[in-house]
Structure 1
Amino acid sequence: MSLNRIIGGTESILVVEDDRLVREHLVARLEEMGYRVTAAETGPQALNALKQTPDIDLLLTDMVLPGGMKGRVLADTARGVLRDLKVLFTSGYSENAIVHPGRLDPGVELLGKPYRRDQLAAKVRKVLDKV
């Protein structure tokens, strides 16, 4: 996909990724697409960011996070703070390692790592545009 076909937006995204280099790269790509981005390294940091920035439209979180709070627990807790929060999970593990029994729960969106910029843009837009 050519760069001029990548569709971004102006929504606010909370990125939760424990790997600093991946987090910085992801934030930079999303900002290039026009999004307002807040970043956190752990689940507790992300929940704190949600409380300080209540206009977050999308939680983009790794499934596996340090500090005892996995991505799914973070998403469920975050939706307790912002009920209409949209969620996109990322993971470097095979899909079979994070789903049960071999399928994602209905409505759960996953972007497998590694991903290209156009894949990121398309998946973020798809999740944000869901009604």
Structure 2
Amino acid sequence: MSSDLQDVVLIVEDEPLILMLLSDYLSGEGYRVLQADCAAQAFEILATRPHLDLMITDFRLPDGVSGVMIAEPALKLRPDLKVIFISGYPAEILESGSAIAMKAPILAKPFTFESLHQQIEKLLI
């Protein structure tokens, strides 16, 4: 369980089953979870929620948007926001050339809840 029950996680994932599984898992671990299934929802949450600790985002999203395209402006708006990328195509994240892509953890799908938990603990502690 998270040591700080106020930790808020935004999950950006267009696959409904993965979004549900991640949300259920993180809620069970004590995190407050916000969900977005597209870039527009993610940007709305980023613009309106005063407190976010972590964003977990898929790389390939609908309409040709990438998780990097969400993470870069999100970090300009919220420099303390932590980011984890998830993808079935992890090499594409590094190939994007984004500075955030070089620093943020990348989990290749499929990944275990344990590996996700370890990455979150490293970033939020």
Q: TM-score range by the shorter chain?
A: 0.7 to 0.9
Partner of residue 95 from structure 2, selected from 95, 100, 109: 100
How many aligned positions are there?
120
What are the ranges of 5 or more consecutive residues in structure 2 without an aligned counterpart?
none
Q: Tell me the distance in 2 between the aligned counterparts of 1:8 and 1:120.
A: 13
Higher Rg of the two aligned structures: 1
* Deviating 4+ runs (over 3 angstroms): none
| Alpha-carbon RMSD | 1.9
SS of match in other structure, 2:11: strand
Q: State the AA in 1 paired with 2:47.
A: K
TM-score by length of 2: 0.86
TM-score by length of 1: 0.83
Q: State the AA in 2 paired with 1:100.
A: E
What are the ranges of 5 or more consecutive residues in structure 1 without an aligned counterpart?
1-6
Indicate the structure whose relative CO is greater, using CA pairs within 8 Å and at least 6 residues apart.
1
Distance 1:83 1:97, change over 3 A: closer
Q: Tell me the distance in 2 between the aligned counterparts of 1:66 and 1:92.
A: 15
Partner of residue 124 from structure 2, selected from 124, 128, 131: 128
Q: Tell me the distance in 2 between the aligned counterparts of 1:106 and 1:17.
A: 20
> Which one has a larger percent helix, Structure 1 or Structure 2?
2
